[in-house]
Structure 1
Amino acid sequence: MTNPNTGIARIPRARKRSGLRKAPSLIAGAVIIGLLICWALVMFLAPTFPMNETVGDPLLLPSGQHPLGTDHVGRDLLVRMGIATGLSLLISAGTAVLAGVVGTILGLIAGYAGGWIDSVIMRIVDTVLSIPAILVALIVGVAFGTGPLPLIFALGVVFAPSFARVTRGPVLVLKERDFVRAAEMNGVGPVRIALSHLLPNAFTPLAINFATVASTVVLVEAALSYLGQGVPAPNPSAGRMISESTRFMQIDPLLVILPTLLIVVLAIAWNLLADGAQEYLAPRVDVGLPGSRGGPTILRKSKTPSPAGTADQTDSTETETAHQPKDVVSTGSERTRR
């Protein structure tokens, strides 16, 4: 603000949100994932009913004994939905971890080594990316059988190239920086340089890609289970539950609506984590710049009052920026620092 008597302009400091408050979507996604994990653990460790046994009449509406009702066989939907949530989280997170480890290693090698090694790795990456994920999972299912572990392995191989591309880009830039050159001149080995200097600087895009891949895996796993090639029966899966309940949709729509909502909530939760990680980890390049969000406000001074007994002075309008001193005394066209 500007004092009209002294003409002193003070530039407010840029306000930056601290902590997790600047990433509300990260908090929302973590809370949703945490609640779903708690639900799944309770259904795994202390289920109210056996998940694969008939515990009541078929197609019962929600009640106190069965909060979500029963399916077409008479199995409790609350238990089966909780088990399906846990399996979906296990497959999505496990796939993202496996793909992240394999893809990050390939990206580090390709980006740091360069030359023909980079060309060979990236051509393999392009080839894998051209194959649909569902097709690879179907082939692996035929060769090794269905189940969570074969599915994690198949989808991990499919999504590893995305991590390789995400890692390779920053490494190509960072390996030309002075701190990497200095480490090489001091005799630091390439493995230590990759793990200590290059990988930490590529952590942000990797974290964002992790949550994005997990969200995609939720949808792919549901599609495979719907086709009968995901989680094997009679274990519950959201996709399989939709497939088995489609013919009863007109009698009891909840049989299809509930697993569909579960898939949507899981995908949204992972996407919220991805958006929140980007907000929390990505640097704000505009913070502190005049006129930017959180940056200093551009102040202008109007006509300065004249001392008593003297003539009015000429109007003076000056723009103060972040690079000028905070306190400026202005008299006419002259400025002196206090």
Structure 2
Amino acid sequence: MKRKKWNYNLTIGLILTTIVVLMAVVGHFWTPYGPTDMNSMLKNAAPSLAHPFGNDNFGRDILSRIMNGMGTTCFVALCTVGIGVVFGTIIGAITGFFGGWLDEIIMRLNDALSAFPSVLLALIFISLLGPGRNNIIFALGILFIPSFARIVRSEIIRYKELEFVKSAQVMGAGKLRIIFVHILPNALVSMLTSATVGFNNAVLAEASMSYLGLGVQPPEPSLGLMLSDAQAFLQIAPWYAIFPGLTIVMIILGFSMISEGLRVYQAR
């Protein structure tokens, strides 16, 4: 009997993601210092035992702001992916299963929307709606719907002609039951893989928007906003940018490895 290889990508990805989630959850309820508490005596102070990540130009503790900002960034990404998954699944399932003129119209609209860079479209939405956390969630969520709709549609088309679906139809199962009970559970791994990739894209998009001043607004911490504030102090306080940047890298790396691990699992 051939022994299965250990899925290192999935394991390491889950470990990194668990650390991120724990820090974000803990940071929502408790941080070593107040994320917005200022101390003029500690402006741009270097990392120390009392402040392991150092302090920013207002004397705020960078570790506390990262813990709190991770929650903001992850919340925006989670809501964005949630909107894309829910509406994308509904649209993709209906168009893939029923086909016809509805499928043609929606998929052509989907193609038109996908032809434009998502960040550019997000900038247009934000310019119309104004900056802020809720607006960026709405803008990015709308833009994530087409990609998830296309993935779900392809999975529905792949499975709907198989024997177990035909058997369910013969047994009198309704169309919605066939879609959501018989087909979609079999496409769960593909959907999870796409969701992890989408989460990474949402984290990068939120960080980019906040960096440009169009996302989360001060004084609410955000990893992208921290990077934007740090760029003027790179020479005298490089830790101000290093630690938020490493945090974003850890989030992206964790979810990327989970996505790759799921692909390996699916291929077995």
TM-score bucket of the superposed structures, by smaller chain: over 0.9
Q: Determine if the alignment matches structure 1 residue 15 to structure 2 residue 14.
A: no
Which of 190, 198, 201 is equivalent to 1:205? 190
**How big is each residue's C-alpha offset from its partner over 1:254-302, in whole Å with a ceiling of 9 and x where there is no partner?**
112222111111111110110112222x142xxxxxxxxxxxxxxxxxx
Q: Determine if the alignment matches structure 1 residue 246 to structure 2 residue 231.
A: yes
The match for 2:57 is 72
TM-score, scaled relative to structure 2 = 0.93
CA shift, 1:211, in A, is 0.4
The match for 2:77 is 92
The match for 1:335 is none
Percent identity over the alignment is 36
CA shift, 1:218, in A, is 1.3
The match for 1:156 is 141
The match for 1:123 is 108
Larger radius of gyration: 1
d(CA) in 2 for partners of 1:261, 1:142: 29
Runs of 4+ in 1 over 6 A off after TM superposition: none
The match for 1:320 is none
Q: Say which SS state the counterpart of residue 152 (structure 1) adopts.
A: helix
Give ranges in structure 1 of 5+ residues lacking alignment.
1-12, 285-338
Higher relative contact order (CA 8 A, sep 6+): 2
- The alignment yields a C-alpha RMSD, in angstroms, of 1.7
**What letter corresponds to residue 250 of structure 1 in structure 2?**
Q
The match for 1:39 is 23
Question: Which aligned pairs between 1:116-265 and structure 2 lie closer than 5 A?
Answer: 116-265=101-250
**How big is each residue's C-alpha offset from its partner over 1:82-110, in whole Å with a ceiling of 9 and x where there is no partner?**
11111121122221222111111111111
Shifted more, 269-278 versus 44-53: the winner is 44-53
Q: Judging by fraction of residues, say which structure has more helix.
A: 2
Give ranges in structure 2 of 5+ residues lacking alignment.
none
Structure 1 pair 258–24 and aligned structure 2 pair: CA distance change class (3 A): same
d(CA) in 1 for partners of 2:62, 2:224: 14
**What letter corresponds to residue 30 of structure 1 in structure 2?**
L
**How big is each residue's C-alpha offset from its partner over 1:5-36, in whole Å with a ceiling of 9 and x where there is no partner?**
xxxxxxxx33335xxxx322112111111112
Q: Say which SS state the counterpart of residue 199 (structure 1) adopts.
A: helix
How many residues are aligned here?
267
TM-score, scaled relative to structure 1 = 0.75
CA shift, 1:205, in A, is 1.1
